[in-house]
Amino acid sequence: MAYQNIIVETHGKVGLVTLNRPQALNALNEALITEMNDALAGFESNPDVGCTIITGSEKAFAAGADVKEMAEKTYVASYLGKFLDGWTRISETRKPVIAAVSGFCLGGGLELAMMCDIIIASETARFALPEITLGIMPGAGGTQRLPRFIGKAKAMDLILTGRMMDAAEAERSGLVARVVAPEKLLDEALAAAAKIASYSQPIVMMAKETVNRAQETSLAEGARFERRLFLSMFATEDQKEGMKAFIAKRKPDFRNR
């Protein structure tokens, strides 16, 4: 598939998707989402890729959904056409995804970032769900994911006022994992992704699945799920290799088996 709205690269065991609609501050439209999903599916099926990064430009990760594309939509056409169905596919990826965010991360852009597993932000990053100012509300999971990240009170503040939150407040609130200087953003994300990709893929995928389960179930059920997956790891070759390497004081050679 020839991409018009994204740039796709591979850095060792790391896949990199750069949103590339500079004339629209990387506003998300159906064409971009389709291309991004295709690229992510390629990385998911590539055994040599262990982690993916999604990033934008220095000015904008993504300044929201493309309002021009949405403005004339009707309810029936949107419902029958399954509008937004493909937008949440990233949340179904099994391999970890890092959002490297600089500049504006608004509306659908923030919803996209929250579907990733880790958000690393530049000091210039600005986050908001400003849909209320357009006479709508978030529709790709924003009202559900944001409270899980930062709590009900602050989520209500952002969603009902549409105000922007800077990178420092986002990190204090638990939305962002780390904040770095703008010039170090991609290097920091690549280093984190490379470290994740150096470990056993099945173990990393199980760990991601278990953390995500914590968001959707009780503590008791989550702990049972964790225990079941933890015990299953003793059936893998990578568990044997990891522990033998630790005892022998050498670097493990994980084979993803």
What are the catalytic residues? Answer: 65, 108, 111, 131
Q: Which residues pair with 97 in a beta bridge?
A: 52
CA 8 to CA 146: how far, in whole Å? 28
Q: What is the DSSP letter of 116?
A: S
CA 146 to CA 62: how far, in whole Å? 17
Half-sphere exposure at residue 74, Cβ-oriented, CA atoms within 13 angstroms: 3
Q: Which residues contact 158 (CB under 8 A, 6 or more apart)?
A: 127, 128, 129, 146, 150, 165
Diameter of the chain measured on Cα atoms: 65
